[in-house]
Amino acid sequence: MKNITEYSNEQHNTLKSILTTVKIYGYRLLTLFMFLTLGLFFSQCEDDDEEEEEILIVDVEDYEITGEPFENPNHNIDQAVSDEAQRNTIAFDAIGFLTGNLGSQTFLPPGKVADFNGFQYFRDNDQTNLGHNTSFVTLISYNIMNILTDEQIQMFVDAANSQIDLINEYAYKRFPLCKAFRRLLENDLPAGTTGLSKDAVMQYSADLYRIDGEISYNRAELFGDVINSLTVEQKIQIRELFDLQGIGNWPSDLSNPLDDMNLERDVNVVVMTFASEIYTWYAGSVAADVYFCPERQGTYFGSFYLKDWPAMGNPNYTIDEQLTANAGQNFFDILTTEQYDTFVSVVDLQKNALLSLVDEREQISIELRKFLDDNTASLETVLSLSDNYGEYDGEIIYLYATYFTQIYQSLTDEQKAQITDLANDLGYIDPAGAFLYSAPIDMPEIENTDFLFE
């Protein structure tokens, strides 16, 4: 091979020109190659980001709880308002009323106020049959609060503190109805009257349920805020609990995040209620929200005290699901045929009001669920529907009080003793005072109830 010095000047210049051309185009080719390579790299990165984002969305959708929470629920609204369920429930109300006192009538479980959140539906349909065990609320509350952040739990606490007065107002406002019904039973009527005023009872009940509607609205708004603040990881954890198919399968050894917060008792109860009900609302549906246990309406006659008091302060106590039906049948066995026929006529008399009440519940539930979708429900709509709800419940309780009293006046001393024995067998003890929901309190001063008579 020739050394470059052996070429002629002409050859040397030609070779130099070739090398220069190669150098120029080589740089251009290298630059083009580099741009193509970088382009492919960044394109791949964008694809990867889109892939990750797409996977994230799929994860959220996979862990969202949608549809009906139970494929074949044991209890639904049709069963709750059926003639058989209502007949047994009304009979149990009668036992509570005829054997109890004013204090027992004031007892009301906290879950029976502002109950448009599916909690009762989950309680009655729990796959592990833990719904009527005293640990049910505690298990749900502890598990949910151990998923929430401190900030989310504080949202519960702040709401409980701001709403407690309204919640307690609802409880105290029930007392005049309880007292008026007791006065009717004991023939303690205002001068010049012969019985209850149906219109007055219905109007008073409408005012009472307007408070319930406001509590329900505030609670749904809170639940919507907390649910819409959940992270993907939190939603996954809640879905994993849901997939365990029954509260009895949930972890039972968790600590109580409220232990070190030194909350007042009634505020603590409200926060625990929030924590349990937000789960059932999130995991539920409109059908679950509409559902109520058969004894949900007409709660002024002491049946909840008769049923629930033995379980109070009794860890891991399970209330017999057949208690109401069995006691109701035992009550019917004591009555004469004529008394029985008079009594069960109430089932037909209340039917229109009961079914109309269900319609109102559905409309309220649909409206409140707007908060779940990060929208705003209409307070005016909820309050108007709650007024109607209260009027229908007022019609029902007017019938109960009137017919219970009529039956009582026809009972023989032997029948009264037999009905008292039924209550005693269920563990009835006369309460010394009243109840703020399920918490014993001294009997408060109750306003004059003459306006409820005519």
164-204 pLDDT, tens digit per residue, is 999 999 999 999 999 999 999 999 999 999 999 999 999 99
What is the per-residue DSSP string for 106-168? T---GGGSS--SSHHHHHHH-TTS-TTBTTHHHHHHHHHHTTS-HHHHHHHHHHHHHHHHHHH
DSSP state of 453: B
pLDDT in tens, 332-360: 999 999 999 999 999 999 999 999 999 99
Res 21 pLDDT > 70:
no
Write out the two tokens for 48.
């990867």
> Average pLDDT of the chain?
88
pLDDT in tens, 34-51: 444 444 444 454 444 444
Lowest mean pLDDT among 15-29, 212-226, 423-437, 438-452: 15-29
pTM above 0.75, yes or no: yes
Could you give the 3-state DSSP secondary structure of residue 196? strand
pLDDT of residue 320: 72
pLDDT in tens, 76-100: 999 999 999 999 999 999 999 999 9
Contacts of 357 (CB under 8 A, 6+ apart): 297, 389, 392, 393, 396
pLDDT of residue 8: 47
pLDDT category of residue 61 using cuts at 50, 70 and 90 = low
Compute the distance between CA of residue 111 and CA of residue 292 in angstroms, rounded to an integer: 11
Could you give the 3-state DSSP secondary structure of residue 439? strand
User: What value, to the nearest 5°, has the Cα angle with vertex 385 and ends 380 and 391?
Assistant: 130
pLDDT in tens, 121-175: 999 999 999 988 989 999 999 999 999 999 999 999 999 999 999 999 999 999 9
